Amino acid sequence: DSGVTQTPKHLITATGQRVTLRCSPRSGDLSVYWYQQSLDQGLQFLIQYYNGEERAKGNILERFSAQQFPDLHSELNLSSLELGDSALYFCASSVVPTRYNEQFFGPGTRLTVL
Amino acid sequence: DQQVKQNSPSLSVQEGRISILNCDYTNSMFDYFLWYKKYPAEGPTFLISISSIKDKNEDGRFTVFLNKSAKHLSLHIVPSQPGDSAVYFCAASEGSSNTGKLIFGQGTTLQVKP
């Protein structure tokens, strides 16, 4: 158990809908990361937050947005969903936001768009 | 544009033998590399890392080798154990970035047979 929790574990929805994925980082971790893993693909970096502020951005679609709240939990919002958005979405956290800090991953949320 | 590539989707080895997992990268700005291991239904967990100022880093049964001129790294597991059966991801980060952004390969599924 990494200490990072993600809810829900599974989510099935229809095209055009909007969903919110939630992540609670490990106690004491200030930085949160979101990754997307599509079928047979590696993890694609989406976005990173540090203490409530956006720190780095990857190839995140405009239909996707995220935020980190004062209690440090984070939410990833996906809207106007398309079939291709079906994937595993991982959240990770680290104490500080630099690359030498180990990232601890949650178990992921599996999103299925029908 | 896949900047980190793991060209072998799968590898099968006998228990007790050496497992060698390979990873190639194209971005010459990458200067820190990591290996993550992932079991089914779990998030990836950090295994070992190497900075570009080194060509080898060892941690118990795991050794990572870096060949900067070839833009190639490999993970050696000796001796391999059935519990090592998992998906292994190679990841890299850029020196110019002071964030935790990681670029992952597609992963290699290792099966260690008893």
Q: pLDDT, tens digit, for every residue of B31-45? A: 899 999 999 989 999
| CB-CB neighbors (< 8 A) of A58 in chain B | 101
What CA–CA distance (Å, rounded) separates B43 from B27? Answer: 26
CB B88 within 8 Å of CB B36 = yes
What CA–CA distance (Å, rounded) separates A110 from A27? Answer: 24
pLDDT category of residue A97 using cuts at 50, 70 and 90 = confident
CB distance from B39 to chain A under 8 Å? no
Residue A62 φ/ψ region, left for φ over 0, alpha for ψ in the -120 to 50 degree band, beta for the rest? alpha
Give the one of A94, A97, A105 whose C-beta lies nearest to B43's C-beta.
A105
CB A50 within 8 Å of CB A97 = yes
CB B95 within 8 Å of CB A33 = no
What CA–CA distance (Å, rounded) separates B24 from B72? Answer: 4
Q: Rounded to the nearest 5 degrees, what angle is found at the Cα of B21, between the Cα atoms of B53 and B114?
A: 135
Instruction: With a cut of 90, say whether residue B60 has pLDDT above it.
Output: yes
Three-state SS for A74-105 is EEEEECCCCHHHCEEEEEEEECCCCCCCCCEE
Two tokens, residue B79? 């001796």
Asked if B41's CB is within 8 angstroms of A40's CB, the reply is no
Q: What does pLDDT average to over chain A?
A: 94
CB distance from A110 to chain B under 8 Å? no
Instruction: With a cut of 90, say whether residue A2 has pLDDT above it.
Output: no
| CB-CB neighbors (< 8 A) of B106 in chain A | 40-42
Asked if B43's CB is within 8 angstroms of A56's CB, the reply is no
Tell me what the mean pLDDT of segment B97-102 comes to: 81
Q: Which of A33-37, A57-61, B14-18 has the lowest mean pLDDT?
A: A57-61
How far does B9 lie from chain A, in Å, by closest CA?
9
CB distance from B40 to chain A under 8 Å? no
